Structure 1
């Protein structure tokens, strides 16, 4: 086995996934980072850019093609990692997407939007995880991490300090900022995490959902600057938090949805 921690990150060519790779690259501890992306050429370009940004870092950053909506792509990625490395220490399921706005804009029907929201954030993530579990079980310290959302908490859904929880004016249709499909899917992901926690307890796999906070990435609107005006923070803050979990900072809170400073209620 390699002495380096082997980490696979899905959706790693942008946003939180990419910032997490950069956060890991700022450290002296060596990693083998499998940079997962739907487009292999883009993944290769991003890997080169990160190595150029951190030339003294000893990380191995290997781009791999994986699309969590494509079972064949997931299988090929598994076969590649299995043949080359034989095991995996950390699976970071970061790939996810918001499509609620596409329905409002007429780019998708309501049914298409809801189905795709669950297909990407829950079904695809489940299949990816289920496929890679045999490699995690060969690790001496396996970790399984899902990136969820602060909007997924049902206990805090009445907190109107968050715009997503505010009731719009009467009348129909509702055009205000709303993400019912996205937040419902992420709540479903939280339950999926609990299932894996139970399923893998005797295998001693550490499992979490990470709620990284409101980050200024391209998720949803595709406009980080617009999100900053709404209160979103630098994605590096979320990335450093994710890195800390990879390195063991929250090992006492497995099986939970964790935020930077506390545990997110269900």
Structure 2
């Protein structure tokens, strides 16, 4: 396993994370740690991919609990001693559960940020020591163009009429988290830290309301996961190129 690139993808038992795990293992021979908060769901997904002959294993990791994150990091350290690629994919979108009551605002924002920002920040911090042991560490933050301040401020943007306020705020904060880590490691050219919007993908998060498949979302995500020494860092991109922060 020392010769394989070790990749952790959070929230990978379905949707974008699952297809990314499948693609990286199948097309690049990477070893995938398929992160899932549900052990049963993770095991089912892994069994399917292993039946395809892919190098994939399940890793229980729940972004809501520090203990789960710490336990996952220790398990990876014990087995592999390093991590080469971290894909922060796990996220929730629950704006459609808002009751409209002012007393429900705090619940909505707390739950959204607890996973999308606080959980992702904790995962990244927990795995940084293992990424530092990689020859070419890469971090990909899956964000959204809905988190772009420039797009929110542009009345002619295609996203201008989209609501999902708590989700948008959490992704804007996630973008800053990405840039914070980029700033920390910008003096170390081996580090590749980027944010990516996969597009409006058909997933459970949007109840199947997307317009592209998970497979169609892969090219840019795979590109960022496989960047070489000359690859970019500190960028926000989608399938069409650079997205304004």
> Shared topology, TM-score over 0.5?
yes
- 1:157-184 per-residue CA deviation (whole Å, 9 max, x = no partner) reads 225453x522xxxxxxxxxx62011011
1:186 to 136, 155, 171: 171
Contact 1:147/1:211 (8 A) holds in 2: yes
Unpaired runs of 5+ residues, structure 1, are: 167-176
Q: 2:147 aligns with which of 152, 168, 186?
A: 152
Q: Is the 8 A contact 2:36 2:58 kept in 1?
A: yes
Q: How many residues align?
A: 242
For 1:44 and 1:182, the matched residues in 2 are separated by 29
Question: Which secondary structure state, in structure 2, belongs to the residue aligned with residue 33 of structure 1?
Answer: strand
Counterpart position of 2:202: 216
Change (3 A) 1:252 1:89: closer
CA RMSD of aligned residues (A): 2.0
Asked if 2 retains the 8 angstrom alpha-carbon contact of 1:150 and 1:214, the reply is: no
TM-score using structure 2 length: 0.92
CA drift of 1:189 comes to 0.5
Work out whether 1:141 is the aligned partner of 2:136: yes
State the Cα distance separating 1:73 from its structure 2 match. Answer: 0.1
Q: How does 1:1-266 map to 2 (within 5 A)?
A: 2-27=2-27, 29-52=28-51, 54-55=52-53, 59-104=54-99, 109-157=104-152, 158-160=154-156, 162=158, 164-166=159-161, 178-203=163-188, 204-219=190-205, 221=206, 223-224=207-208, 227-228=209-210, 232-248=211-227, 252-266=231-245
Q: Deviations over 1:81-132 (max 9, x none)?
A: 00010000001000011111111488x9221111111111111100110111
| Cα distance in 1 between the residues matched to 2:46 and 2:131 | 23
1:10-58, CA deviations, whole angstroms, 9 ceiling, x for partnerless residues?
A: 000111101111222431x321100000011210110011222x23xxx
Give the secondary structure class of the aligned counterpart of 1:145.
Answer: strand
TM-score between both structures, scaled by the size of structure 1: 0.85
Runs of 5+ unmatched residues, structure 2: none
Deviation of 1:154 after TM superposition, in Å, equals 1.5
- Who wins on radius of gyration, i.e. which is larger? 1
Tell me, in whole angstroms, the C-alpha distance in 1 between the residues paired with 2:14 and 2:155. Answer: 30
